[in-house]
Chains A and B, each alone.
Chain A
Amino acid sequence: MTDSPYKSWRFCAWGGPLFLVTYIFFWGILGFNIPPLSPALTSAELAAHFIEHANRLRVAYVVALLVASFYLLWTVSIFKIMERMEGDNKVLSYIGLLGGGATVVWVTLPNALWLTAAFRPETDPAILQMLYDLGWLILDCTYAVSVMQMVSLAVLFLNDRREVTIFPKWLGWYNIWTCFIFLTLIIMPYFRVGLWAWDGWMNFWVAFFAWFIWIVAQSYFVFRAIARFEQEDGLAKRPSPRGILKPGIAVELGK
């Protein structure tokens, strides 16, 4: 029993929920990124914000840099599941692994830029503004690598020919929809106010929360998948959680 490989899978899977909670707290709440500062602010207003909150922002971004790596663990647990589902041809699994791995870079780097701004907030406000802008443009416009992970998962889910699929098909469709709406970030750089700006209801609230909700749903089904593999291999300690082998739309849909 102690040799069960699923222990380490499950350990890595916890990276997802842990990333979400800690990243939202440090990057989002403590770092004033939920919602972000308006791109319409003048450099003087932005500098005043950084000077006033310098210490709080240093904590926020330096810890966000740390916790962003939980996403890496999570990606590995997803990769292991993809590998098992895919069999010998591991193309989708590797696209997912690299996409998730690259996502780690792009959710990490902006925090380093904002940390630089918070480190020396008395500097030229124009430079400070460039750092802040750069952070947001990187975070928003590098969605394509996350799309690689989400689409490779969707393709795998939708091609699952098992009688009771490992992941519900609706999750595959949700992935596709989320990737599709990420494309609206293409017009983000043209706007400093309104729904398409980086603090707008569409390009911030919808785009980011669609991604957060995906992490929640994906994590839930990752744990279920691990439990199922364990059961299939006869390694489960407990009987399967109720309903694990029943098909159908899961309750997360309504959340």
Chain B
Amino acid sequence: MTSKSAQVQMTRRLPGDEGPWVFIAIDTFLFGAFFTSFVYDRLKDVELFNRSQEALSTAIGVVNTLILLASSWFVVLAVHAAKKNMGTTVRNCLMLALLCGVSFAVSKYFEYTAKFDVGLNLLTNNFYTYYFSLTGIHLAHVIIGMVVLGLLARAASGGVNNGRYLRFLESGASYWHMVDLIWIMLFTLLYLLR
């Protein structure tokens, strides 16, 4: 493993199956287009976007970010544990990551209802159209990810240190990291960009 060629081979390997990467790649491109579209529309009315942004809570955004970063970390721990054949650890880490996903969804529920209560919604203005639609699509990704994490945790009882499970786990982990990465971009653009 210490030889150079072995290292090169290791770094070049795509985690998981190729198939899910097709999904991840196109999805990332699509979000790239969403971000470009947001920045483009923002430039047409910077004042409105900045004023609308003031109603968002940066604190909730930061908490959301930390929750997702923690969940990604748990998923990484699960992958490492799987390679060491520690089935229980794998399952526990995945359940913790899943719990992070649940807390993210719950916090989004409170965030949305607080906005609705003061009369802000999808149609309020261009900024809120982006805010609700993009975070909503992201939330849909989180929910799908949670289902995947749940399936992975359940499958862990059937043995974790085999090629089939590892490919499944790595594919799921790659997807979950993408969801995390998209959130970080959304947080920056929607909550922070001035």
Using a CB–CB cutoff of 8 Å, the interface residues on chain A facing chain B are: 158, 169-170, 172-174, 176-177, 181, 183-184, 187, 190-191, 194-196, 201-202, 206, 249, 253
Contact = CB atoms under 8 A, between A and B. Distances in A.
A193 to B, nearest CB: 9
B26 A169 contact: no
A12 B175 CA distance: 37
Contact of B19 (A169, A183, A190): A169
Interface of B: 17-20, 22-23, 26-27, 30, 33-34, 37, 41, 122-123, 126, 129, 133, 137, 140
Given A187-B133, A190-B123, A201-B33, A177 B18 contact: no
A183 B37 contact: no
Given A184-B137, A195-B37, A201-B37, A170 B122 contact: no
A173 B23 contact: yes
A190 B17 CA distance: 38
A176 B144 CA distance: 12
Nearest to B26: A177
Nearest to A181: B30
Nearest to B123: A190
A249 B21 CA distance: 12
Complex A-B, nearest 4 residue pairs according to Cβ-Cβ distance, in ascending order: A169-B19, A170-B22, A173-B19, A173-B22
Given A190-B122, A194-B126, A173 B20 contact: yes
Contacts of B23: 173-174, 176-177
7 contacts: A172-B19, A177-B26, A181-B30, A194-B129, A201-B33, A201-B37, A202-B37
